[in-house]
Structure 1
């Protein structure tokens, strides 16, 4: 679909919700534990009407999938496909977009139109802390040593949540984005990761020059477009870095663009494109063993109901 179709669908999502989207080192989404068992399911069913956006992986192994509808989390086994709702939802005014887990059993949650950041005990589902930052659509999150970083799709800013020992959250700081950053009138900032050398942040900008990947200095907020040759990411959503390989989920294109980056994350080249018959507008990716797991957001469904079918699909890594 075109960027306009995606824009209109997401604008409807933004309006409706107001009325009522790494590696193990930086978020627990990649686990180099050897090849995934081929008997594990390649489709994980979610509850009806779930409206997923983000995904993160925990030990077990299992996935946590957030809900834009009511903010709940669904914990599902990668080995069996069986799952249960973790009682973290605060209602439709507090949706869950992007999320990441850490090694201490804590989940970091992007609050979408609630304009807040949240931390959740992954074992009990208890909301530990709510941090209002005045965001318009807090979209995605990545963990770095000492901080959790969140994007805002409608503001040219990042939110830095300071982390103490054992990742105990502290104060939140708003970091304005400058340099090459261009803010559109619709969804702009989206997925976030670290550069391979850990020196900077990588952030999707779905507006600038037809969709660019930006390298952001975490100290200043200065953004510079990453040189990806002729490649553009107009529907770029969640991103996942494994080593120097960057997976960019292109939602409405129903594909994942795979790039090979240099260490500093200043340039890269398109290696291949992953397409799969099970993609129904995927929005994020997490990795376990030799697989990627992607939730299907189905943003093309104009009016989701309590019976609308949602799932997570598993595909082979490149």
Structure 2
């Protein structure tokens, strides 16, 4: 299966960019070179949607480390773009504007089988549209599900030790578990199955094929939602015993135990993490992307993620609002969202940087 996926991605068409901007030390450099080293581009261009109201604005990114593919979500329309580590230009992979019931998209991740999980943000809030989707590497829709909470805002997603996908909810301090089959871990689960989609959405619910969405953890005993985006970025701890989750409205990090689903606050050594969005972890190093504050914070977590040392904070490019990031080939790939623009103007880019150490 993995061999066929690599072969399929090798045929992904790429359009040579006439110009690009290099990204060095988290700032814009000159356009003198499109390559960073080993023939890899220093930044990646995304296709804008000329029909999108307010221009194209991007947010989530997922990577397939085996094939070198990455996937990027468009908030304005819900399109999904795909690129590869060795090509400057990414291209639309999945349509939006109602395709599979998707009008917006947020966080993305990829599991060991190459399946792509997409968080819908407010796509299903107050209506009967899907809250999330799962696709095969070939673009086949495997699941389009609603979650038990009709007011959920699914923000980001990570794969757990059990192979299931875990989605953060920005409206309530809950985490949603999505998996194929009815198997559960030792963590607390609501036991409530995903509600099937209504036929009018033009999407066939795939829960009959075994995909389910359940409320895995509820952190309301400690986490108080504030106005704005609450739970967002999510990564596993180094020892895989817990999820680390950012609450952007308060600048706190929360630890959700894999074994029990219980929540506790992570001591972050006084770090300012307001507007924390994407989290990127490598070993004990955790990079926290503070979107509108335009800062990248480096924390050093202990292996079980109960505490962290505040190592450093540095400014990112003042002309970009970076949101989420993922590691690919030793580099961080981060999304330039254009969230600070009333009407987004290109170029639309994924920028690269070294993981802070």
TM over 0.5: yes
Larger gyration radius, structure 1 or structure 2 = 2
- The alignment partner of 1:178 has SS state of coil
After superposition, the CA RMSD in angstroms is 2.3
Change over 3 Å in CA distance of 1:234–1:76 after alignment to 2: same
Equivalent residues, number: 276
Q: Which residue of 2 aligns with 1:271?
A: 311
Per-residue CA deviation, residues 194-219 of structure 1 (Å, 9 max, x unaligned), is 111111111111234xx110111245
Cα deviation, 1:78-112, whole Å, max 9, x if unaligned, reads 21212221124353853110000122121011011
Match of 1:303 in 2: 343
- Confirm whether residue 98 of structure 1 aligns to residue 107 of structure 2: yes
1:171 partnered with 2:212: yes
Asked if 1:71 is matched to 2:88, the reply is: no
Matched, 1:261 2:278: no
Q: In the alignment, what sits opposite 2:39?
A: 39
Say which of 62, 65, 82 aligns to 1:56: 62
Alignment match, 1:207 = 249
**CA deviation after TM superposition for structure 1 residue 42, in Å:** 1.2
Task: Indicate conservation of the 8 Å contact 1:255/1:279, yes or no.
Answer: no
CA displacement at 1:169 relative to structure 2: 6.3
**Is residue 287–residue 355 contact of structure 2 (8 Å, CA) maintained in 1?**
no
Counterpart check, 1:148 vs 2:183 = no
The runs of 5 or more residues in structure 2 that have no matched partner are 1-35, 49-54, 125-130, 183-208
Structure 1 residues 266 and 279: alpha-carbon distance in aligned structure 2, compared to 1, 3 A threshold: farther
Asked if the contact 2:105/2:123 (under 8 Å) is kept, the reply is no
Partner deviation per Cα, 1:268-295 (whole Å, 9 max, x = no partner) = 1122235443861111111122311101
1 or 2 for the larger relative contact order (CA 8 Å, sep ≥6)? 1
Report the alpha carbon displacement of residue 137 of structure 1 after superposing the two structures with TM: 1.4
Runs in 1 of length 4+ with deviation above 6 angstroms? Answer: none
Higher mean C-alpha displacement, 172-181 vs 62-71: 172-181
Distance in 2 of aligned mates of 1:90 and 1:105: 24
Pairwise CA distance, 1:224: 1.4
TM-score by length of 2: 0.71
CA change 1:314–1:238 in 2 (3 A) is same
**Equivalence map 1:84-233=2 (5 Å):** 84-89=91-96, 91=98, 93-115=102-124, 116-123=131-138, 125-133=139-147, 134-146=150-162, 147-164=164-181, 170-174=211-215, 175-208=217-250, 211-218=251-258, 220-233=260-273
- Give the Cα–Cα distance (whole angstroms) in 1 for the partners of residues 94 and 120 of structure 2: 16
Q: Is the 8 Å Cα contact of residues 47 and 90 (structure 2) preserved in structure 1?
A: no
Q: Deviations over 1:140-173 (max 9, x none)?
A: 00001332110111112111113459xx963211
For normalisation by structure 1, the TM-score amounts to 0.80
Q: Distance in 1 between matches of 2:281 and 2:176?
A: 20
**Structure 2 CA distance for partners of 1:298 and 1:279, relative to 1, 3 Å:** same
Contact 1:94/1:112, CA 8 A, preserved across alignment: no
Aligned equivalent of 1:17: none
Does the 8 Å CA contact 1:179/1:222 hold for their aligned counterparts? no
Q: Tell me, in whole angstroms, the C-alpha distance in 2 between the residues paired with 1:136 and 1:178.
A: 14
